[in-house]
Amino acid sequence: MQRAMMDGISDLPISVQFDFATGIFSPYADISERRMSDLKEMFYDQSVVAAAMALDNPIIYEIRYHPFLTSVSDMGLGVTRIFPGKVGDEYHMTKGHFHEQPNQPEIYFCVRGEGYLLLETRVGEFEAVRWLPGTITHIPPQWAHRVVNTGADILVFVASYHLAAGHDYAPILAHGFAQIVVEQDGAPALIPNPRRI
Ligand code: M6P
Ligand code: ZN
């Protein structure tokens, strides 16, 4: 079948509408919830993770997706809402991933809330970018990316990427990022990842 005849492909401009009050856009093609059980290896306090999974396995964040497929391109839009909260003293965060394809970047745009974008290369260069509403970060190829919500509100960010980029979670599952973000004396602090010490 020709690509132009496949489902959902259009070579015409398409718009969706984002609601700043809720952090939800519509229409969207798909929604994905990430619960504690989906992130169980990611948080360092495994006893808190086990207790939360046994209790109500809470949603940590949710992502609404829309693919913009044309006959020659595959731009993806993702809007993620990270709910406020902590696992022990570690703030809610996304799993984080590298892109499978080595030449694929991404744009992340923080529209609501506050926190950090953690970035790390496969050879261990690390950056933590303070994130506030309006911060837009270009994530270069080969930098893993994770967003941490350190505020009392939801953190909402918009992501734009090529679907062909793919997600590689394995290195993050294996050893996380160089630093984690925890509450210390009532404020967010970046500390070395205990799994790497
Ligand atoms: C953004 C994009 C998606 C990603 C999502 C959640 O919307 O980067 O590709 O899936 O954030 O991040 P993660 O996959 O790390 O849980
Ligand atoms: Zn990505």
Ligand nearest the Cα of residue 97 is 1
Q: What's the CATH class of domain 17-196?
A: mainly beta
How confident is the model at residue 4, as a pLDDT? 46
How confident is the model at residue 31, as a pLDDT? 98
CA of 148 to the centre of ligand 2 (A): 15
CA of 168 to the centre of ligand 2 (A): 9
How confident is the model at residue 177, as a pLDDT? 98
Residue nearest to atom 15 of ligand 1 (CA): 96
- SS3 per residue for the chain: CCHHHCCCECCCCCCCEEECCCCEEECCCEEEEEEHHHHCCCCCCHHHHHHHHHHCCCEEEEEEEEEEECCCCEEEEEEEEECCCEECCEECECCCEECCCCCCCEEEEEEECCEEEEEEECCCCEEEEEECCCCEEEECCCEEEEEEECCCCCEEEEEEEEHHHCCECHHHHHHCCCEEEEEECCEEEEEECHHHC
CA of 1 to the centre of ligand 1 (A): 30
Per-residue pLDDT tens, the chain, 197 aa: give them: 444 445 689 999 999 999 999 999 999 999 999 999 999 999 999 999 999 999 999 999 999 999 999 999 999 999 999 999 999 999 999 999 999 999 999 999 999 999 999 999 999 999 999 999 999 999 999 999 999 999 999 999 999 999 999 999 999 999 999 999 999 999 999 999 998 87
How confident is the model at residue 7, as a pLDDT? 67
Is any ligand 1 atom within 6 A of the Cβ of residue 97? yes
Is any ligand 1 atom within 6 A of the Cβ of residue 167? yes
Ligand nearest the Cα of residue 159 is 1
CA of 55 to the centre of ligand 2 (A): 31
pTM, rounded to two decimals = 0.96
**How is the chain split into domains, by residue range?**
17-196
- Ligand 1: which of 36, 63, 161 to mutate, judged by most atoms within 8 Å of the beta carbon? 63
